[in-house]
Amino acid sequence: MNGTIQTVCVIGAGTMGSGIAAQVANAGGDVLLLDIASDGDSGGGGRNAVCERALERIAKSDPPLLMRPENLERIAIGNIEDDLDRAGKCDWIVEAIVERLDVKRALYRSLLPHLKEGALVSSNTSTIPIALLMEDMPDALRKRFCITHFFNPVRYMRLLELVRGAETEDAVIETLARYNDEELGKGVVRCADTPGFLGNRVGVFAMQAAIHEAMALGIDIEDADALFGRPMGIPKTGAFGLYDLIGVDLMADVVRSLRSILPQGDPFHEVGAENALINAQIEKGFTGNKGKGGFYARIDGKAMALDLATGAWRPRRKELPELASAGERDGLRPLLEGEGRLAEFAWRVLARILTYSASLVPEVTDTPQDIDDAMKLGYNWVKGPFELIDEIGAEGFAARLEEDGFYVPEFLRITAEAERRDDRCFYRPGNGVLEVRHFDGTFRPVALPRGVVRFHMARRALAPEFENGSASCFRIGDDVLLVEFHTKANALDDAAMAVVRQAAETPSRGVLVHNDAQHFSAGVNLERFKAFIEAEDWQGIDRFLFDFQMAVEAQLYCDKPVVGAPSGLAIGGGYEVLAHCDLVVAHANSVLGLVEAAVGVVPGGGGVKETYWRWYQSTGDWEKAAWNTFNQVGYGQTASSPDLAARLNYFLAGRDRQVMNRDRLVSAGLAAIDDLAPDYAPRQAPVFQLAGADVFAAMVAFLESGRAKGRFMPHDVTVATQIAWIVTGGEDGARTCSERDLFAREREAFIRLARTPQTHARIAGMLSGTGVPRN
């Protein structure tokens, strides 16, 4: 075994197999996708019809499985009757077929004669133990076999559970761990061959606990999802919404499967019994979002929710209970201190989930980090179960559990006693690193591969250089300042931008703008602009935008390199921060773009300016640059990957860099600063040429024609006219201008639009969740 993977075969072209194949193609690998042979009579096509349809689904997927459409060309197809010999030439064969033991074992036996020396074989099973999969198989296969359990959708879900068997060779695990981390971008959690592994063992239990308690206490599904959601650091879908998203029928099968393999006495059986209401919904065809709905549905055009007591439909409520709103603001404290049925629901759900998680140590793993990582990477929790216990406090948590008659697992009890003695819970800052308590009572540094940094963990062992309620700045590595936003959705306000500016002006070797949240930044805080507009405080808007512009100008022209390292959404004002960096190191799933036109304003933090300059740099023609900027910003275009962003000049392919694993952004960003720092000099301030009155007139004519044909709404024309005015000079004609002049034009255009009732209505609609009105 040479420890490298160049070619991959995925057998099984369903949802998971297709997703795995697409991600390998995204990483630049060659993929062979196989499934059963078609007889040509059902569904049309030839022998490879099943895989041909899979390619069609990949190409049309939304959100897209491919980082750029051309990646589909890396996926070759075939079938398991005619093409197993081709599979034998691959370095890694991933089985992702139906969850039936007999079918899987038959496939492995068919593969055996074709496997080349050193080829690795794995299953994507979520439930079947390796001991059963490999029973009576040759030693040569048992040594090279393991489970690689991906989560759906494969491109976007970060967790890979890597499960070794009793005879799996170390080199197999190390090779697959490295490849999936560095090439496919996964956070690899190594698991024992135990039922449900880690992610689904805890994640499905958590969903079942929420559903069980909601039904027991008579809680409406909207209230249950509101509490078992953002207040607990869990995605807003909650439990019932997530059932609908995954598929009610699929989830029912997953629950049955876990129930069948978990030992009697496991707490899962208390919350995972057959559910008559769920079974009735499936029988009626309410199987989730893929069907007519599930717990939520649209019936006769109206949003409806299922009444858990009667099984009847009723109008869906959108308003949050006050307890959920308080939890979103202040975390777990209001949930734990509240009174009434909703607070009881929140407490009982937390008690069940956190005690169940603690009971798995040391049965499944001897470190809380594995369970926390599985939930954060596989279920998008903000904090893992043990991090939540740290937030609550183990001693107080255990005491309340005992008072309310809950079982206190041994690991939790030992930790609570230790906390009483020395105020240490599951995690603590060590000598510049975060340490985690293991079952034997020792604290050890959190275990991460070389080059992996999860800053939400690393920051707990650091003291900020300076901070405020919206952002912090830490000194890391070789004298580098890291700026981290930490508002809701990382929406940018004046306080966040003050930290950006202060970092640019503080002595250091470089600045890295990065955070570990789901999204780098969803843009500027619209609540601030709504307040400015309603107060008619136009000077306040001008001052806010000026301060924002001076902050990004400071980072662009300071005496050291500034590198942006985004993941998730980096749109609007978030993108404008990146546009004024010397270099961007972006996660491969980053969404980049300027979206301000949709809410009735123009980018006011240098976004129009930088887009115009970039298009001039790439075309050498101010008129072409003006038209490209006008169209791109006017339509609010975004890109769902750096590869696609490069086509819009949001990402500069010859300068910027991307990484597949977001946990490697900090290391890659520091490496970029190391490359830039020795001979660093900021860019020379550009001189701009406004495109002139003729171009402005042509743009206005284009807009008026579109409005006459019904393609543009009246306010769309108003907004786009202001974009045209910024880059052309309007009726005043062509002339040269400075960067500060273009900044000023953006502010002036922004305020003109802010004065209109249409812009106020759009911003208000966006913030209220009712949607942007078409005006």
Please, is 436 exposed, middle or buried when counting C-beta atoms within 10 Å of its C-beta (0-12, 13-18, 19+)? buried
Neighbouring residues of 126: CB distance < 8 A, sequence distance ≥ 6: 99, 149, 196, 197, 200, 254, 257
Q: How long, in residues, is the chain?
A: 775
Closest CA to 293 of 241, 252, 255: 241
Residue 2 confidence (pLDDT): 45
Closest CA to 579 of 629, 542, 530, 518: 629
Three-state DSSP class for residue 141:
helix
Interstrand relation of 302-306 and 296-299 (parallel, antiparallel or unpaired)? antiparallel
Query: How would you write 330-396 as a 3-class SS string?
Result: HCHHHHHHCCCHHHHHHHHHHHHHHHHHHHCCCCCCCCHHHHHHHHHHHHCCCCCHHHHHHHHCHHH
Alpha-carbon distance 250 to 99, whole Å? Answer: 12
Residue 44 confidence (pLDDT): 61
What is the CA 339 to chain-centroid distance, rounded? Answer: 34
Per 3-state DSSP, what percentage of the chain is helix, strand, and coil (rounded to 5)? 50, 15, 35
The DSSP secondary structure of 430-442, one letter per residue, reads: -SSSEEEE-TTS-
CA end-to-end span of the chain: 63
Cα-trace Rg, the chain: 28
Neighbouring residues of 154: CB distance < 8 A, sequence distance ≥ 6: 16, 19, 20, 22, 23, 65
Three-state DSSP class for residue 89:
coil
Alpha-carbon distance 272 to 395, whole Å? Answer: 29
Whole-structure pTM value:
0.95
- DSSP conformation class of 290: T
Closest CA to 373 of 234, 189, 201: 189
Query: How would you write 417-431 as a 3-class SS string?
Result: HHHHHHCCCCEEECC
Three-state DSSP class for residue 640:
coil
Please state the φ and ψ torsions of residue 193, each to the nearest 5 degrees: -80, 70
Closest CA to 357 of 426, 293, 305: 426
Please, is 604 exposed, middle or buried when counting C-beta atoms within 10 Å of its C-beta (0-12, 13-18, 19+)? buried
Hey, what amino acid is at 188?
Answer: V
Other Cβ atoms less than 10 A from the Cβ of 328: the count is: 16
In the predicted model, residues of the chain with pLDDT beneath 50 are: 1-2
Alpha-carbon distance 596 to 575, whole Å? Answer: 11
Alpha-carbon distance 539 to 116, whole Å? Answer: 71
Q: Please answer whether residues 9 and 94 qualify as being in contact, where contact means their C-beta atoms are separated by less than 8 angstroms.
A: yes
Q: Please answer whether residues 197 and 332 qualify as being in contact, where contact means their C-beta atoms are separated by less than 8 angstroms.
A: no
Structure tokens at 515: 């955070």
Q: Please answer whether residues 179 and 8 qualify as being in contact, where contact means their C-beta atoms are separated by less than 8 angstroms.
A: no
What is the CA 232 to chain-centroid distance, rounded? Answer: 17
Q: Please answer whether residues 529 and 546 qualify as being in contact, where contact means their C-beta atoms are separated by less than 8 angstroms.
A: no
Please, is 4 exposed, middle or buried when counting C-beta atoms within 10 Å of its C-beta (0-12, 13-18, 19+)? exposed
Alpha-carbon distance 213 to 197, whole Å? Answer: 24
Residue 774 confidence (pLDDT): 72
